[in-house]
Amino acid sequence: MIANAIFVTTVIFLALGIFVMQECQFLIPYRHVLFVRYGQAIALFAVALFVNLLAGVYMICRTFFLKDTGRKLAHLEKQLRTGDDLAGDLSRRLDD
């Protein structure tokens, strides 16, 4: 789950970076000054943005992909305890 969230966050982060570079072409002559004076602040902002994007994407992934997981696991556990035919194979494996 976290690997998927990191991948999606990286894609979004790269897309945002490319968009910002296209919009800020007028700053190309000043890039050396910007990186020397503000490079540390830009890097800190980029890290903070990446972490916040990762948290948001991870939350969205958990919301959509782990929906009703507890209920489904409770149902499976109930089947295992009662020894129904559907879960007979799993019951035998747990008994061993």
Q: Find out whether 6 and 54 touch, Cβ atoms under 8 Å.
A: yes
Q: Is the pTM of this model over 0.85?
A: no
Domain limits, the chain? 2-65, 69-96
Q: Residue 85: its pLDDT value, please?
A: 60
Calpha distance 76→37 (Å, rounded): 59
DSSP string of 17-72, one letter each residue: HHHHHHHTGGGGGGHHHHHHHHHHHHHHHHHHHHHHHHHHHHHHHHHHHSTTHHHH
Q: Residue 9: its pLDDT value, please?
A: 96
pLDDT digits (tens, 9 = 90+) for 80-95: 677 666 555 666 666 6
Q: Residue 19: its pLDDT value, please?
A: 96
Q: For the chain, list residues with pLDDT below 50.
A: none
What the block records as the tokens of 53 is 């994007």
